[in-house]
Structure 1
Amino acid sequence: IFTMLGREIQVAVKAGSPDPAVNGKLRDVIAKCKANNMPNDTIDRSIKKAAGGGEDVEYENVTYEGYGPNGVAVIVEVLTDNRNRAAANVRNAFTKGGGNMGNSGCVSFMFDEKGLIVIDKEEIDMDEEELMMAALDAGAEDFAAEEDSYEITTAPDDFSAVRETLEAAGIPMASAEVTMIPQTYTELTDEEDIKKMNKLLEMLDDDDDVQNTYHNWDE
């Protein structure tokens, strides 16, 4: 995970500035790093390495879409220095997982892009109503109380501002990122389909080029 986050830092720095005070994208990546327990000195080293040039590897974002068993919709986001390798590996994962890659846009219409902030109930002292008002006042679209956590959703363009406002208020976050939320979910009842779907997700998870995988499997 630190390797993948390091790539995100590199892309954010090259697209803007090594100073998070003026680079909102970098601030978001740093927040994601901290949510994944990446040490501060590792974050600083990654920023300095990206700012200093170092190994001149150019990474590009590519999104692949396709179907898992029984038509489960899958979106795969990669950050790679070799598009051909990434495409071959992702295609192989779909094939071994009993699915197939599709054309761009074949399943993305079934998802909504949203900012998602998750707060662990055990980590926060505020009561639910107070937290909800703080989130909505900060510009959040929605607030939901789950069994062990609170989930705050935002429009993608409002995500950074909402996250920073809550962060400034001292509210701890288990995770904070822009994600793809399914509009509907697909169930798998056949044991073989479940095995294949797990195989697909496992292969994508093991691929260093893959940054994020989204799906609508109702696990």
Structure 2
Amino acid sequence: MSVGSILQRVNGLFRPHMLTFLHYPSHTIHASCAALAGHNKWSKVKHVKGPKDVARSQIFHKLSMLIRIAVKEGGSTNPELNRSLANVIEQCRNVSMPKASIEAAINKGDKIKTSSLLYEVRGPGGYTMLIEVLTDNSKRMSSEIRHIMNVHGGLIAEGGRHNFERKGIVTVSDKDQSGSPITLDKALELAIEVGAEDVQEEEEEENEKMMLKFICAVPSLHQVREKLKSLGLCLLSSGLGYIPVTTVELSDEDMEQASQMLQALKDNEDVVQVYDNIA
């Protein structure tokens, strides 16, 4: 699901109260093609086996839950006063979510009891997954996650978060507003200009178009987003997400099992986003 890309990309609007775990990283630009998402074996497996035809209603449900959390935590139903809410609404518009549905979710934001959860999972071969969940029934959701782990060889275990860094992620089209392509070299120059730390090139699962993900320190997210927008780039999403610090290579057998687990997780309507450190 990218809502993976929709919501890896949706990436990442998960809870402000977790930001205190971060420091302010240095602005180092990484240009190694080997590290770029979308160009390794795992990304191709995810692309082939991932749920490319996710029902629109399922996507809208996840976005509605993100809106409710943003309203509750931001303390305002006005996107001009609530930056997290504004980010989610932008993502809603990118997938053509009806205006009435957006407004309904905003109005229910402070009335529906919803919990945000983060599960840390270890799988065969030593890889780690972080599973972001928004649910109105934590007990039921915990049972469902454990069932998926039991079926696909995963294990809920603390410590997996240490394999990731919390970052700001701004996803843009690989073409500017005039339709001209943006090369990776050009994107790296733009990253330096706007204050981003890294750029990753990735293929969007739903329409197989390429996109660019600008990675930045959490406090710089709004600045990077606005500067990229002012430079004429077509924004697809922006928010917070997890970027792996180290990656793990898997055997074909473990890769297949991991792909099946990812499919099962993303088919669950309360799972908003799944992050992994698989190379």
Equivalent position of 1:61 in the other structure: 116
Give the structure 2 partner of residue 179 of structure 1: 241
Q: Deviations over 1:124-147 (max 9, x none)?
A: 446557765555444323345678
Q: Is the 8 A contact 1:117 1:177 kept in 2?
A: yes
Number of matched pairs: 211
Give the match for residue 264 of structure 2. 203
Is 1:213 aligned to residue 274 of structure 2? yes
* Aligned 8 A contact 1:69 1:97 in 2: no
CA spacing shift, 1:131–1:183, aligned 2, 3 Å: closer
CA contact (8 A) 1:112 1:181 kept: yes
CA contact (8 A) 2:173 2:233 kept: no
Structure 2 residue aligned with 1:46: 105
- State the match for 1:33 in structure 2: 92
Q: Closer, same or farther in 2 for the Cα pair 1:57/1:150, shift >3 Å?
A: closer
Choose the corresponding residue for 1:141, options 188, 197, 200: 197
User: Rg bigger for which structure?
Assistant: 1
| Separation of aligned partners in 1, 2:151 and 2:112 | 30
Q: Quick one: which amino acid aligns to residue 274 of structure 2?
A: T
**Where does the alignment leave 5 or more consecutive residues of structure 1 unmatched?**
none
1:94 matched to which residue of 2?
A: 149
| 2:175–2:233 Cα contact (<8 Å) kept | no
Q: What TM-score does the superposition give when structure 1 sets the normalisation length? A: 0.83
Counterpart of 2:66?
8
> Helix, strand or coil for the counterpart of 2:235?
coil
Task: Check 1:162–1:186 CA distance in 2 against 1; reply closer, same or farther (3 A cut).
Answer: same
**What is the aligned-residue identity percentage?**
32
Of residues 225, 229, 236 in structure 2, which corresponds to 1:167?
Answer: 229
Q: Aligned-pair RMSD on alpha carbons?
A: 2.5
Structure 1 position 157, deviation (Å): 2.0
Q: 2-side partners of 1:115 and 1:69: how far apart? A: 29
- TM-aligned CA distance change 1:145 to 1:211, over 3 Å: closer
Which deviates more from structure 2 when the two are superposed, residues 117-126 or residues 88-97? 117-126
Greater RCO structure (CA 8 Å; 6+ sep)? 2
2:170 is equivalent to residue 117 of structure 1:
yes
Deviates most, 34-43 or 196-205 = 34-43
For structure 2, the residue ranges without an aligned partner over 5 or more in a row are 1-58, 204-209
Change (3 A) 1:197 1:133: closer
Q: Deviations over 1:166-193 (max 9, x none)?
A: 33554212332311111222222233x2
